Every structure is written in C-alpha cells, then in structure tokens.
Structure 1
Amino acid sequence: MTEQPGAEVRRPANQGRKVAARNRAAVIAAAREVFAEQGLTAPLSVIARRARVGQGVLYRHFPDRTALVEAVLEENVRQVEQAAAAESATFAGLLGVLTWHLAESAAFIGLLHVDQVAGRSGLGAHASALSERVQHSLRAHLPADHRLNAKDLELAVAMVSATVTGPTREERERRARDAWRLLGVEVGPVRPFEG
C-alpha cells in the first residue's frame, strides 16, 4: 500500500517507559495471584497470560523465576516497611498489613520460612535480608509490655504464616486471624498499606 501524496501519516506516540512500567507492575500483580493459587513453581507462561503480556515481556523484566519471586517479595516487604514508617503506625496495625500480605501472597509466606524456601528457590541471602527487614519493622513497634518479646515475635509470625492455607483469600485470612487470636495477639484491620 502506497501513501497518498500530501497525506499526513500519524504514528502513535512512543510510550516506552510508561508501558514498560505498566507491564512490570502487571507481571508482579499477576505473579502474586498465580503464586497464591498454584505455589512458587507455577508456570511463568500462566503469569504472562494473567498479566496480558507476552512471555518475552515477562523475561525482559525478569530473566528467571528467582528474579520474579524477588520482585514480588520486595513489594510485600516495602509495604510492611512503609506501614511501619507511617506516623500513625501501631503494632496491631502493622500486624494487619502483615496478615493481608500473608493471605495475599504465597511467596511472602515462603519468605517468612526463609530457612525452608531459600535452598529450593535460589533466593538464599536475599530472602534472609528481606525476612530480617520484616522482623525489624515489627520489632520497632512492639510495645515493651506486649505479651510477645522480640525473640518470640519471630516464632509467632512463623507459626501464624504456617497456618495460612486454603483455596480462597478469605479462608487464608480467616485462618491467620484465628491463629493470632489463639496466640492472644490483637491484629488491626487486615488490608494493604495505602500511604
């Protein structure tokens, strides 16, 4: 097909970086959902389809499964840290954010059991550092007179996260709330941090 003389041809504006950032965010969101449904060994092709991107786009952002799991985990940890840094942060509120991430993200549960997940996933030291960042955020808001001390806090989080199973997000959240209640620990509203 030839162009007509004098006809103006308009090309769509190149939105390169904008589209790349959107695609990356879509892949991370899809990975969180698929990992929650199928575990950390879910096919990356399923994640690409859920994100509505080609596998080439997925691999452009995340060259392997480990890189994708790290990105999902980093986002989870960053939200917990942001919640901890908020002026209105309370220990119960932080536990609510943590519980939301537990119910939402199988990868995040694995992170809190870093000794088990690190060897299988290749995350190793990175997973340990992320887990420590979560514990640091929680310890910073642990009241001095709380029934849990700093040492028991790590064990309590691991125990609660181990109970977070079930086919639906609601079931996983219910189980986490029940576990906190059995430990005698008050949890604030279960929701993501919206700073």
Structure 2
Amino acid sequence: MPQTPKANRGPSAGPANRLALIAAAREVFGDGGYAAPLSAVAKRAGVGQGSLYRHFPDRISLAVAVFDENIGDLERVASLPDSTLDDLLQEVIDQALVSKALIDLIVAGADDERVAHLGTRVLAVVDTMVTRERSAGRVRADLTADDVMLAISMLAGVLTWTPGATRPDTAARAWSLLRRSFAPAPAPSPAP
C-alpha cells in the first residue's frame, strides 16, 4: 500500500523544520562525524532535502548552527557565578564524548569566517573562567586562556581517535593530568 505524502505546511513549518534539522544534525554528526551524509540529517529530521538546503545551504552552515548551540551551553556554564574551570571542562568533555564533528568542522573550515566566530566565542568563555580561577587561587597565576585552549584542543584530539567505549575513562584521565598542571604551585616548605 503506497504511503500518503505528508501535507506541506508551507512557510509556517520553517522554524520547526530548522529546529528539527539542528537536532537531527547533532545526532547524525555525533554518530558519523562531520562528513556524515546530509541526506541522513534530512531523513532523521523528517523533512525533505529541499527544506534542509533552504535553511542550511551547505554543510558548514548546518554544523555552525549545531555548534553555536553547544557553545551557548558553555557560555551558560561560565555565566554561573560559582562555576569553575572543572565545570567548564566537564561540559567540553561531555560534548566531545558524543561528537568529534566540532573538531572536524574547525579543521575543515579553518578559513571560513562562519567557523572563526566559534573559536572566538569559546576563547571568551575560557578567558572568563581562567580569570575567575586565578582570582580564587585555584590555578597557577601564569595560566592563560590560550593555555587552556591548547589543553582543550589536545583533549579533543585524543578523544577523536579514542574508541567510543573508552572515551569517558580517557577523558577523565586526561583532564586529571591537565588539572594537575594548572594547579598553583605548592607553598615552599619552611626552612629547617
């Protein structure tokens, strides 16, 4: 028995379709990486490919929309007055555990201005957290946001090639090593 096609709801479906596409892309990119087929995104969202391309004319624009939301989550963590660098890094790890697509996107679109703003936003969040942590004495006085960005890149890189089942343990071990390197130096022992 042939299936009846869905009724076209016209322009009123636009906002819901866009949200469905972003949610579907998060899952598809999470499973298959940045190079996952866009047809799988449209199918998972329950829309046609024409709708996908009306909202997102290319792969980068779709991936940027997904990761704009991820970075929004990081910004929310940083906006909490009691949040720490551990809280921020845990959010980064949680995101990296489910998707290596952000790293793939940043590498693939390094020269694309739509991608550049992602790094700028993440750097601003990290800078806020590092400044807070230095003021509280929880990290070395010479730790910079660039140091933490390098650590995040190293951690994300390791997680991209780590098998899925071992990613949480690897992430925890890596962050433990990084945390120790960020810690303030112990006070010198008094002379005997």
* TM superposition score category, shorter chain reference: 0.7 to 0.9
Q: Identity of counterpart residues, as a percentage?
A: 37
- Identify unmatched segments of 5+ residues in structure 2: 1-6, 182-192
| 1:117 corresponds to 2:108 | yes
Which residue of structure 2 aligns with residue 182 of structure 1?
177
Correspondence for 1:135 among 119, 123, 128: 123
Q: CA deviation at 1:24?
A: 1.3
Distance in 2 (alpha carbons) for counterparts of 1:110 and 1:86? 29
Which residue of structure 1 aligns with residue 37 of structure 2?
43
**Mapped contact 2:68–2:118 kept (Cα < 8 A):** yes
- Identify unmatched segments of 5+ residues in structure 1: 1-11, 187-195
RMSD of the alignment, in Å? 2.6
Distance in 1 (alpha carbons) for counterparts of 2:166 and 2:45? 24
Distance in 2 (alpha carbons) for counterparts of 1:46 and 1:173? 27
| 1:92 corresponds to 2:83 | no
Correspondence for 2:167 among 172, 180, 183: 172
- TM-score under structure 2 length normalisation: 0.74
Secondary structure at 1:42's aligned position in 2?
coil
Q: CA deviation at 1:185?
A: 5.3
Q: CA deviation at 1:125?
A: 2.7
State the number of aligned residues: 166
Which residue of structure 2 aligns with residue 78 of structure 1?
72
Amino acid at match of 2:109: A
**Mapped contact 2:33–2:99 kept (Cα < 8 A):** no
Distance in 1 (alpha carbons) for counterparts of 2:180 and 2:26? 27
Between Structure 1 and Structure 2, which shows a larger proportion of helix residues?
A: 2
- TM-score under structure 1 length normalisation: 0.73
